[in-house]
Amino acid sequence: MTSPNAENAKNAVINVQQELNIPVAMRDGVVLVADVYRPDTGAPVPVIVARTPYGKNTEFSYRKAMWWARRGYAFLWMDVRGRGDSEGTFRPHLDEPLDGYDTIEWAAKQPWCDGQVVTWGQSYLGYVQWLTAVEQPPSLKAMIVYVPPSDPFVEWPTGVHLPMEVCWFRLIDGRSLQYVEGIDWDAVYDHLPLLSLDEHAGFHSEHWRDDLSHPPSDTDYWGPKDYQHRFDQVDIPTMHVTGWYDDVQPATFINFARMTRQAPTERTRRGQRLVVGPWDHGLTRRRERTLGPIDFGPGADFDLDGHELRFLDHFVKGQSNGADADPRAQLFVMGDNQWRGEDEWPLARTEWSSLYLSSGGNANTRFGDGTLTWEQPGTDEPADTFRYDPADPVPYLTSPTSHQIGGPDDYREIEERADVLVYATPVLETDLEVTGPVKLELFASSDAVDTDFTAKLVDVHPDGFCQRLTDGIVRGRFREGLDQERFLQPGEVYGFEVHLWSTSQVFRAGHRIRLEISSSAFPKYDRNLNTGGPLATGVESKVAENNVWHSPGYPSRLILPVIPAADATG
């Protein structure tokens, strides 16, 4: 069946051949099913492969495949094992490495393929690209990876899935996508224990329960889902794409930075490309200048489709289009609201700058006396104290489903809670650019054997709007790593590192930099019940009294990646 080039008709020269529901046998005999869209020219071309649990036969899939086929590439959409039209049992992530390998090598042998295969896709589709790439299929020549998760526990360092991920497990329950909007997810997230959130939502998920039944230290269970220690085995030019508000953002920065340093050849190290825009997790479908209440202006436009095409035309087809000389990173600088080319991550010219926490012991709420200062306090100061009650956690502003967790939301009302410590700079007299990973070095204590500490970086606008930029969490028992639980000694002061992910924001003159600290961000992260009990099955909780220390002996500080003003527009 052929389809005329209806899109961009004035340039129509290529018809598209569609072959639907093609059986592809895996090495164990299980048959997966694919749809192929290819230029109807008779000449073999590179093939782009996208393997999905979300259904290969959708309007989005069709439009994406037709766009590429009209530009000289075949596009293959496949339902992964146990989903849609494909045989077998769906086991999230576990069968993808070998199934991906077999699919790539099958495609490379087809008469309409020139032997070169590219993988493409977002989120789960991005994660499984990496799981496949480390298996080194010989015909894989490039990847385009949007918003992939990291290895387990990087984005959820509490040692268990985010509560909101139970929504995803419902979405992929069975063989086809399930409707999730009709469930009262807020009530589901409130339920304890975590292990039975699925049944509280009205379904049963063995995948959810299996994951929660294995601690982070169980490397036999979690190891097959790891890929970020194997970049020296991936010799593939890759385009990495994320947004500043992508809710699995860290993976893209980790993957790009490590590939530029660890990939086995200089060509591949130079062949990494990073694009980060003012977007959320759904950026493959929605890339508008407005996200939530923030309008990023006309400068937010970016032709990602054209960027993909230019990348593949050079690194796969070998065209001399100048893509090899492009900056390796394209970053949208919020606040300034412009794109800028860079060559590495983090930026080499970064000035790692410390803002020290200070107060008279009353930093509770935004009306308290908490400050951020460039100078370390020279005298002892009283600790700031708050009560963390798991039955009344600090809200994390988000829509109820897991499609996107959080955004550039206004936290001024949350900052009126007594269990939120607030530290802010004076009003800035000049612009200050912060671009890179943000970290909090925190000295804190608790009367509990286990508790959490959360941190949030906020841009306070002159009108009082408190724009969330990025945030993070550390769990007491995992403060030294997830390999072993190390409980707190009540009353003892410990040093904690809270990784707040990455941002790029120009704090304008007249704005303030603000840091929020508490012990919960619910329902993004599960509530620490403060008892030291099991994470998945615990139901009993206690109130913890937590203290944040700031003094010469305990210099709690926010470490910002400041870009010097002379270079900020370079």
Angle, helix 96-108 to helix 124-133, in steps of 10 degrees? 80
DSSP 204-233: --HHHHHHHTS-TT-HHHHGGG--TT-GGG
Tell how far CA 355 is from the center of its chain: 26
Cα–Cα distance between 452 and 443 in angstroms, integer? 13
Cα–Cα distance between 52 and 176 in angstroms, integer? 11
- Identify the H or E element spanning 125: helix 124-133
Cα distance between the two ends of the chain: 51
| Pairing outcome for strands 290-291 and 140-146 | unpaired
Using CA atoms, how far residue 408 sits from 323, 411, 436, 468, 522, in Å, is: 33, 9, 17, 5, 16
Question: Looking up tokens 């390999």, which residue turns up?
Answer: 483
Using CA atoms, how far residue 565 sits from 120, 349, 431, 433, in Å, is: 37, 11, 8, 7
- The identity of residue 367, as a single letter, is F
| Residues in contact with 120: Cβ distance below 8 Å, sequence separation at least 6, in sequence order | 48, 49, 50, 75, 129, 143, 144, 308
DSSP 488-508: --TT--EEEEEEEEEEEEEE-
Residues 125 and 99 sit within 8 Å (Cβ to Cβ): no
Q: Which residues pair with 13 in a beta bridge?
A: none
Selection from 488, 466, 484, 458 nearest residue 476 by Cα: 488
Question: Looking up tokens 């829509």, which residue turns up?
Answer: 399
Question: Looking up tokens 């010799």, which residue turns up?
Answer: 235
Cα–Cα distance between 117 and 417 in angstroms, integer? 54
Integer-rounded Cα Rg, in Å, for the chain is 24
List the catalytic residues: 123, 246, 281
Residue 401, φ and ψ in degrees, nearest 5: -90, 170
Residues 243 and 147 sit within 8 Å (Cβ to Cβ): yes
